[in-house]
């Protein structure tokens, strides 16, 4: 019996294979398969007629070739046949689709040989990525494929499927726009999909029986089958391409959430069943380390692991015309791999967005100073991390349901709010000792910082505010949801919204809904009507950001030059001016005041300036012709106010 410990194995001596033909290479005349398996003594190929059931119709032996690879060639047109690979490295391991499979049968146990050209929807060759000149121009909307459409109130036909994103003209029961029409109406620039590469938990033959977010990766290069109309076939590829094409036609980019930091299975993963131990980091005793908190962590620094991730990303981004990538637990990745990813992406398009979670879930044997954690983000080129300091400053500690933040009246969060407004870049007017958690700026440039108030993890913004503000009225909670959006969307950096926040999404108080049923996770589109004021406000915030480059400054030097905080301290208030046509804005001066108190405040304004009132009490009118008189202006409780000088 194998002990699955790797004491004394020097993985750095394993041969490197630089070719681009790992996995299946298909033509109508023949199919070549190449596997990297340097520890193997024998490698077998089995061909099957069916996706799951039935015996192999033939079994062949791969031939050992260069740099640890094994090859086999089959003559004839194998389109539509399934295959597995089985390695013997002294004992026989399990059958798997290998590590490179781009299409798989139902539930991902067998690879599928296919003709890539046949997976292109009509018009695919004309499909293009959206323009995004600078990451701070993006407004990201994070959504789970199934949550988007599964509710009855979605009005969509392809519930829970990729194809729901291709449906136009869909309406909620109250006749409001849903689906892709809703996204267009809201104005977001990028849709970030929770993982769509093959994951293991949901039975693809009975997807309604279970739910999962998808952070349980199985086959990294194949799309998930439970979102496809037929998991046995290449519909999982074609329909994901149709999703991308439909969003692109709406002017919206697509970001994929990738989970290369770990695999759902450890010993039985495709990686360990092909080259045992190689793809994972080990503890000093030779056992698998676990910085992902899921039983293992990928050794991104090893040459063939790094190549695997680079090849995989290039495949997804090129084949599916992807506009950006979000890295789950990016803090597990080594910095060199991340910078190589950036340079590979630049060769495809420098506009591709890259961002991730700048942390790991547990300790790692790999030196933290060399990993892509938040405090090392300044060493990464055009890669951003999530600003969890701002997130918690806005609404209170993410993990403690009772804790409050700036929008719920916690008056010690002003410096943390300023930290978010400046995208975690150094600004001389911030007293870093008072910032909650990070005691120094960690971003060098604003495109290194993703600002958000909530995401799929933890309580929804609305649930968190309801739980932490037991005495607040419904109206006050709504105002808090709106002010959180105002903070995220007007701040420097990259704004990020959790899908449904614009209609006060609830998960009924579930803080970790990764496998909770649809009634918890679904977007309830009825709420677009119930919370129509919140929706309209988020829509107007997004319009404001798009119309005004002052909210999207390109560099921290620009921010330090054009953004000045008010000197007078008022508890529960954060305010600043953007001066001298910041970043080429048509507005000369913009004064922004956030009042986190429940009561209104009198805010002093310079009298000699002819201020125009653009935002008051959760209403934005960029064309307003109201010129308030006097030395002071009243800012209502829990709201943002904006005055401009044209
Ligand atoms: Ca799956």
Per-residue model confidence as pLDDT tens digits over 261-287: 999 999 999 999 999 999 999 999 999
For strands 30-36 and 190-193, give the pairing.
unpaired
The token pair that represents 17 in the structure block:
């294979």
Q: Which residue has the tokens 């979605």?
A: 154
Neighbours of 169 (CB within 10 A): 10
CA of 190 to the centre of ligand 1 (A): 25
Beta-bridge partner residues of 516: none
Concatenated DSSP letters of 438-466: --S--BSSGGGEEE-S--SSSS-HHHHHH
CB 97 within 8 A of CB 109: yes
Q: Could you give the residue numbers annotated as active site?
A: 328, 357
Residue 141 near residue 186, CB atoms below 8 Å: yes
CA angle centred on 496, ends 495 and 497, rounded to 5°: 125
pLDDT the model gives residue 173? 98
The per-residue pLDDT for 165 is 99
Q: How far is the CA of 161 from the centre of ligand 1 (A)?
A: 13
> With bands split at pLDDT 50, 70 and 90, how would you rate the model's confidence at 607?
confident
Distances from the Cα of 372 to the Cαs of 305, 334, 344, in angstroms?
Answer: 16, 6, 17
The DSSP annotation for 77-107 comes to --TT-EEEEEEESSSB---B--S--SSBSGG
Where residue 590 falls among pLDDT bands split at 50, 70, 90?
Answer: very high
Same fold, 11-119 and 561-645: yes
Residue pointed to by tokens 């959760």: 618
For domain 11-119, give its CATH number from 2.60.40.10, 3.30.56.10, 3.40.190.10, 2.40.50.180: 2.60.40.10
Nearest to 195 by CA among 316, 85, 301: 316
At 245, list the tokens.
Answer: 């094409």
CA dihedral 240, 241, 243, 249 (to 10 degrees): 170
Ligand 1 center–CA 587 separation, angstroms? 51
pLDDT digits (tens, 9 = 90+) for 119-147: 999 999 999 999 999 999 999 999 999 99
- High-pLDDT (> 70) share of the chain, %: 100
Burial 352-369, CB ≥16 within 10 A → b, else e: bbbbbbbbbbeebebeee
pLDDT of residue 568: 85
3-state secondary structure of 278: coil
**What pLDDT, in 10s, does the model give residues 496-551?**
999 999 999 999 999 999 999 999 999 999 999 999 999 999 999 999 999 999 99
Ligand 1: distance of its center to the CA of 202 in Å? 6
The dihedral built from the CA positions of residue 470, 473, 479 and 482, taken in this order, carries a sign that is positive
Averaged pLDDT of the chain: 97
How many helices (H) and strands (E) the chain has is answered by 13, 26
CATH number of 561-645: 2.60.40.1180
Residue whose structure tokens are 């398969």: 33
Q: Is the dihedral of CA 387, 250, 456, 299 positive or negative?
A: negative
Residues 473, 96: Cα–Cα separation, whole Å: 56
226 Cα: distance to centroid of ligand 1 (angstroms): 6
Residue 530's Cβ-side half-sphere holds a number of Cα atoms within 13 Å equal to 14
Residue 606's pLDDT band (cuts 50, 70, 90): confident
* Ligand 1 centroid, distance to 196 Cα (angstroms): 9
**Band of residue 65 on the pLDDT scale cut at 50, 70, 90:** very high
Three-class secondary structure of residue 11 per DSSP? helix
**pLDDT tens across 66-92, in order?**
999 999 999 999 999 999 999 999 999
Report the separation in Å between the CA atom of 392 and the middle of ligand 1, taken as the mean of its atom positions: 34
Check: CB of residue 536 under 8 Å from CB of residue 486.
no
Per the CB < 8 A criterion, the answer to whether 157 and 274 are in contact is no
Give me the sign of the Cα torsion angle 492, 493, 497, 498.
negative
Name the pLDDT band for 1 (thresholds 50, 70, 90).
confident
The backbone torsions φ and ψ at residue 23, rounded to the nearest 5 degrees and listed phi first, read 85, -150
> In whole angstroms, how large is the CA radius of gyration of the chain?
26
CA of 339 to the centre of ligand 1 (A): 30
The CA distance from 131 to 546, in Å, is 13
* Mean pLDDT of the region 317-338: 98
pLDDT in tens, 378-424: 999 999 999 999 999 999 999 999 999 999 999 999 999 999 999 99
CB atoms within 10 A of CB 182: 23
* Average confidence (pLDDT) over 234-249: 98
- Where exactly are the structural domains of the chain? 11-119, 561-645
What the block records as the tokens of 87 is 């390695």
What residues have a C-beta under 5 A from ligand 1, the ion? Answer: 198, 224
Phi-psi region of 424 (alpha: psi -120 to 50; beta: other; left: phi over 0): left
Residues written for the chain: 646
Bridge-based pairing of strands 494-498 and 140-143 is: parallel
516: how many CB neighbours lie within 10 A of its CB? 15
- State the pLDDT confidence band at 608, using cuts at 50, 70 and 90: confident
CA separation (Å) from 297 to 16, 196, 334, 366, 449? 21, 20, 12, 10, 25
pLDDT digits 0-9 by tens, 151-182: 999 999 999 999 999 999 999 999 999 999 99
616-626 tens-digit pLDDT: 999 999 999 99
Tokens of 216: 């349980």
């Amino acid at each position: 019996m194998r002990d699955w410990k790797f004491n004394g194995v020097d993985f750095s001596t394993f041969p490197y294979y630089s070719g681009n033909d790992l996995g299946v290479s298909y033509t109508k005349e023949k199919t070549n398969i190449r596997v990297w398996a340097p520890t193997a003594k024998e490698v077998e190929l089995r061909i099957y007629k069916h996706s799951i059931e039935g015996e192999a119709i033939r079994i062949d032996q791969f031939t050992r070739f260069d740099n640890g690879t094994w090859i086999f060639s089959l003559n004839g047109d194998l389109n539509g046949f399934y295959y597995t690979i089985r390695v013997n490295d002294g004992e026989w391991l399990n059958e798997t689709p290998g590590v490179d499979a781009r299409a798989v049968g139902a539930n991902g146990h067998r690879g599928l040989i296919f003709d890539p050209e046949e997976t292109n929807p009509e018009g695919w060759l004309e499909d293009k990525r959206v323009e995004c000149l600078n990451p701070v121009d993006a407004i990201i909307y994070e959504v789970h494929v199934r949550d988007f459409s599964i509710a009855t109130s979605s009005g969509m036909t392809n519930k829970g499927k990729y194809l729901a994103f291709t449906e136009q003209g869909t309406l909620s029961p109250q006749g409001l726009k849903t689906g892709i029409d809703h996204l267009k109406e809201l104005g977001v620039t990028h849709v970030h999909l929770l993982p769509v590469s093959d994951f293991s938990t949901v039975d693809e033959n009975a997807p309604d029986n279970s739910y999962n977010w998808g952070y349980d990766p199985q086959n990294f290069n194949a799309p998930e089958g439970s979102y496809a109309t037929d998991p046995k076939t290449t519909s999982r590829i074609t329909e994901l391409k149709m999703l991308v094409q439909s969003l692109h036609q709406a002017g919206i980019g697509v970001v994929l959430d990738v989970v290369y930091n770990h695999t759902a299975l450890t010993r039985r993963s495709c990686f360990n069943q092909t080259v045992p131990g190689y793809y994972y980091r080990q503890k000093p005793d030779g056992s698998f380390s676990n910085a992902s908190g899921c039983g293992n962590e990928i050794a991104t620094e090893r040459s063939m692991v790094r190549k695997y991730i680079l090849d995989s990303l290039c495949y997804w981004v090129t084949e599916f015309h992807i506009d950006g990538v979000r890295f789950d637990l990016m803090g597990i990745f080594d910095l060199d791999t991340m910078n190589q990813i950036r340079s590979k992406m630049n060769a495809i398009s420098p506009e591709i967005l890259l961002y991730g979670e700048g942390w790991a879930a547990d300790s790692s044997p790999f030196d933290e100073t060399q990993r892509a954690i938040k405090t090392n983000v300044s060493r990464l080129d055009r890669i951003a991390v999530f600003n969890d300091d701002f997130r918690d400053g806005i609404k209170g500690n993410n993990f403690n349901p009772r804790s409050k933040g700036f929008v719920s009246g916690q008056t010690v969060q002003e410096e943390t709010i300023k930290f978010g407004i400046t995208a975690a870049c150094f600004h001389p007017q911030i007293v870093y000792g008072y910032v909650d958690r990070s005691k120094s700026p960690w971003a060098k440039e604003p495109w290194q910082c993703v600002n958000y108030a909530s995401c799929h993890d933890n309580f929804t913004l609305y649930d968190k505010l309801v739980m932490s503000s037991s005495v607040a009225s419904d109206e006050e909670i709504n105002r808090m949801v709106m002010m959180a959006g105002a903070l995220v969307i007007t701040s420097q950096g990259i704004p990020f919204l959790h899908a449904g926040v614009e209609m006060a999404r609830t998960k009924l108080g579930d803080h970790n809904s990764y496998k909770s049923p649809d009634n918890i996770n679904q977007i309830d589109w009825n709420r677009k009507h119930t919370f129509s004021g919140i929706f309209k406000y988020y829509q107007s915030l997004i319009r404001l950001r798009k119309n005004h480059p002052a909210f999207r400054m390109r560099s921290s030097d620009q921010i330090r030059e054009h953004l000045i905080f008010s000197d007078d301290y008022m508890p529960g208030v954060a305010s600043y001016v953007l001066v001298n046509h910041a970043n080429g804005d048509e507005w000369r001066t913009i004064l922004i005041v956030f009042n986190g108190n429940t009561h209104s405040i009198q805010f002093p304004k310079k009298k000699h300036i002819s201020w125009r009132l653009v935002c008051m009490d959760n209403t934005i009118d960029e064309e307003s012709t109201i010129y308030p008189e006097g030395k002071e202006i009243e800012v209502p409780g829990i709201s943002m106010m904006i005055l401009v000088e044209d």
